Amino acid sequence: MLTAERYLTLYDRYNGEGKVEEFYEATVDELSELLYCTPRNAKLVLRKLEEERLIRWSPGVGRGNRSRIAFLSDKETFLLDTSRSLVERGDYKHSFELVDRFSEGTGAKEKFLDWLNGHFGYEKIERDGMIPRDILRFPVFQSVLTLDPAEVNYGFDSHVIRQIFGRLVQFDESQKKIVGGIAHDWKSSPDAMEWVFYLRKGVLFHNGRELTSADVVYTCDRLRSGKPNSWVLRGLKEVEAVGPWVVRFKLTAPNRIFDRFLCTSAISILPKDLGGQSEEAFWMLPVGSGPFRLLSYTPNGITLGAHAGYYAGRPYLDGVRIVTVPENCQDALNELPEVMQSKDKEQDVIEALSTEEEGQRLAQLCEGCVLVIWNLNRQGPQQSEAFRRAVRMILNSDDLVKELGSERMLAATSFRPEVSMASPVGSLDPERIRAALRESRYDGSVLRLRTRDRFSKDAQWIVNRLAEWGIPTEIIVSSFKESIDGGDSLGDADFAINRIIFVEDEVCEIELYEHGNCIVSSYLDPERLAQIRSRIDDSLKAETIRDRRLALRQIEDRLRDEAAIMFLYHQSVNRYLHPSVRGASLNSLGWIDFKDIWLENLT
């Protein structure tokens, strides 16, 4: 890598014309300054480059004779070959850095990314005398922020956590019901204040140790010790091990969907005392009981290996390599390999269907929505309900969907797409908007809108719409980590665009109001939050699904009626799969679970 950097640095300095094997004048002093080293070390670098047959160096002899350097390898070819070689060795980080730094003036970056698209996907690795291994590689454009279930607050992090860790129970998307996981059976008392879970025997952590009730108790105690996801165990009075295979939970109030709470990634089971390691050491390479073992974990990517002892059956894949690539490569790279590719644009869909007539299409409308939420803990025009109502009418979500299109499939009037379908957005009424603005006594203050890059088009649409009504708006772009962490880092904005995904249905709806780092709970004022939490208590006591949903719907209705939140649209998720992919289905996170997929022509 260092030799390649030095060659390309010298090439850019002296070979502006891009000619190979042509001499250019240079001095050792110039080279040492360029390479940030002493003249003596510069000569050593030249000798190394000559040994690699990359340059030809002709030292000047005698007064007035300057030294000369010739480059023996074409820059674009050398850069491509070196970057590909780094990728083949698994060094994606340096390959991207090299291309990004030295590709200007060449077609290397485009050619490299085109080659990389072919590199991602499935590969059968065969070695002499060994059984072939089936590996899946794919790129993502944001590093996993955490693998700690107690802190997870992002969909892809949650997806990876589910591959590494097991949960007591899980929600089966196809059957629409809770099924056993680490627990093979469970029951609750008639008043739903006591729950008992019966664990499977022989569930193994990746280090070979058997999972017992002591691990479950430890996980719960750790989670409720001030962790961001402690809300999952709201109302938990006591958790106890009744022998090695039985766990009893005692609650302070009835919770008839407590088992649904235990389906979340946040309550993934950890080994007791983290297997004797410190917190810092354990999370460098955590051990779980899920279908895949974590083999490596860095900001540049994650490598998973099949857990042969997984209680629900060994995965078909032998390994998964998740590669973090720079965001500026996103347009050129597909986020999923061709065999399991995501296509959101209509033209992409048409092309996919025309070239892959036998291909599989997995599609679903996301449970949840993209919305705007007002920061009611900050002084400003948004403290007026009349002003919030005026803005809600101005930002007609039906117009937004029609004008911006793409993955924006349905204008939203609710968190849930089925409710939005039954209650469409009304048409814009200018007179009602003017009346609401007069009532609000809006003084022309500039609004501050928080957003992420992924919602930049939505943000600009909002700015333009509000400008038509004399409401100036400033866009503040949050980093990915800021938008996930929420809390104080987002407190300097008047309102924000956010996406809500209901991975666990009602439980995720409750999470909006109870997770300390969720932007909804961060932006709602204490009085509203207290009233909301009281209604949540009522919903958990409800004996029927209808009554429970009614209590949660009343929370949503109030927030919408007061324009504390403004629904924008529901998104679609489409995955177009190669016909040879088998066992694939979308989970509630919009991802394909790695455990059950296999490629027919690799077996």
Per-residue confidence at 483, pLDDT binned at 50, 70, 90?
A: low
Is the pLDDT reported for residue 287 higher than 50?
yes
* Closest C-alpha among 487, 555, 559 to residue 516: 487
- Integer Cα distance of 222 and 146 in angstroms: 16
Domains, the chain: 1-73 (1.10.10.10), 120-331+587-603 (3.40.190.10), 368-572 (3.10.105.10)
pLDDT value of residue 96:
85
Most confident of 82-96, 334-348, 573-587: 82-96
* Closest C-alpha among 229, 267, 234, 268 to residue 251: 234
Per-residue confidence at 327, pLDDT binned at 50, 70, 90?
A: low
pLDDT value of residue 344:
38
Per-residue confidence at 112, pLDDT binned at 50, 70, 90?
A: confident
- Integer Cα distance of 588 and 502 in angstroms: 8
Enclosing H/E stretch for 277:
none
Is the pLDDT reported for residue 563 higher than 90?
yes
Mean pLDDT over each residue of the chain, to the nearest integer: 85
Burial 431-448 (b: 16+ CB within 10 A, else e): eebeebbeebebeeeebb
Quick: pLDDT tens for 392-428.
999 999 999 999 988 888 999 999 888 888 888 888 8
Per-residue confidence at 463, pLDDT binned at 50, 70, 90?
A: very high
Is the pLDDT reported for residue 388 higher than 90?
yes
Mean pLDDT across 510-531: 90
Quick: pLDDT tens for 224-246.
998 999 999 999 999 999 999 99
Residue with tokens 């291994």: 133
Per-residue confidence at 578, pLDDT binned at 50, 70, 90?
A: low
Per-residue confidence at 64, pLDDT binned at 50, 70, 90?
A: low
- Give the range among 89-98, 185-194, 572-581 with minimum mean pLDDT: 572-581
pLDDT value of residue 489:
56
pLDDT value of residue 216:
98
**H helices of 332-448, where?**
346-355, 385-394, 397-404, 417-422, 430-440
Distance of CA 74 to the CA centre of its chain: 39
Is the pLDDT reported for residue 356 higher than 60?
no
* pTM (global) more than 0.95: no
Most confident of 81-90, 138-147, 559-568: 559-568
